[in-house]
Amino acid sequence: MMSMLPRLEDLGDVRGKRVLVRTDFNVPMSGPDDARVIVDDFRITSALPTLNYLTERGATVVCASHLGRPKGAVSAKYSMAPIRQRLSEIAPGVELLENLRFNPGEEANDETFVAQLVAGFDLYVDDAFGATHRAHASIVGPPKTLPSAAGRLLQREIEVLGTLREKPKRPFVAVLGGAKVSDKIGVIEALQERVDAFVIGGGMCFTFLAAQGYSVGDSICQPELIDVCKKLLAGNVPIHLPEDIVGLDADGVYATYGIRLPNGAKGLDIGPGSAAAFTDIIMEARSVFWNGPMGMFEDPRFANGTRTVAQAMADTKAFTVVGGGDSAAALAQFKLDDEVDHVSTGGGASLEYLELGDLPGLEALRGAPRVK
């Protein structure tokens, strides 16, 4: 599919052209609403290969991005001003529009807003992989009228995920975590045809443990999905679940359990035995995709499971891909983000691409007019 996507080279001579580049500068921020500072600029620096390609060839480049969820209203908390300042430091001369989501037409994919966006531009580049699974105005609108291309970041994401989806080196293991099993059911069902084993931790493991008949105390559990989990566990692909759990007892005291949690207990991380077992599986794999932490890693008491999996991802000789979001944040927290083969800039987008093999933004690019 990647060969069908138009590339930057397909835009021809860009000298003197005005290019609208959809970036994903939805970066973590902190501080008071009127003095926000960037916590991590990874998504901004990731756009540099595309921005440099265009500016070095004489194009005038204007970036457009969303930030947070202002729900169609202007808000100081979600102003692009701090990002605009950082961008001016690393890509002088590149402009940045105000937050796309200040206009309700962005998420509504409003044609009037699309027309405002593309006015005065000659070309469009989508380099916002983290938003390419959204059928929003800035993603699917410009390719209807402007010659368009995938940026370097988007191109790389699809190449890596496409390889995992279609021709991974085997054994191929998917390590999945996070709070809710409902967020991952679709990708588990889709990857059953493609992976050799699943490793499941995080809050989502408790619905699977409940499906095996174990008591999970007050841990996160989605009873309505127990039957779905039973079917997945009965499938042909092994699903490895924790064998011990770390959490809090009914009185809020730190405790370690097996896989049967008493009433009132809450599991908040995989235990040391599980972390060791998961490490062994990762080390024996040749391809590993990881999305979702093993526990509440923001709390040092419950960070060991996620840290151990992150270290295994760094140490294994397998081809390793981390699917953005909290997993990428954990890697950065443990200073291991340079130790894996690919850190995706989009958690939800990476899962959706692995599940479906296409995204609205990619479909839009393939249908865009070509440079004559």
Amino acid at 249: D
| Pick from 192, 195, 216, 218: nearest CA to 205 | 216
Q: Does residue 180 have an active-site annotation?
A: yes
Catalytic residue among 43, 101, 134, 184: 43
Which residue in the block uniquely carries the two structure tokens 């060969």? 3
Contact between 103 and 112 under an 8 Å Cβ cutoff? The reply is: no
Q: What is the DSSP letter of 67?
A: -
Catalytic residue among 18, 144, 180, 230: 180
Catalytic residue among 141, 267, 323, 325: 325
Catalytic residue among 286, 348, 357, 366: 348
Q: Which two tokens stand for residue 119?
A: 């006015």
Q: Does residue 18 have an active-site annotation?
A: no
CA dihedral 150, 155, 158, 163 (to 10 degrees): 140
Q: What is the DSSP letter of 100?
A: G
Residue 319 and residue 168: Cα distance in Å, rounded?
A: 9
Contact between 169 and 285 under an 8 Å Cβ cutoff? The reply is: no
Amino acid at 72: G
Q: Does residue 43 have an active-site annotation?
A: yes
Residue 174 and residue 239: Cα distance in Å, rounded?
A: 10
Q: What is the DSSP letter of 16?
A: T
Amino acid at 120: G
Q: Does residue 348 have an active-site annotation?
A: yes
Residues designated as active site: 43, 180, 325, 348
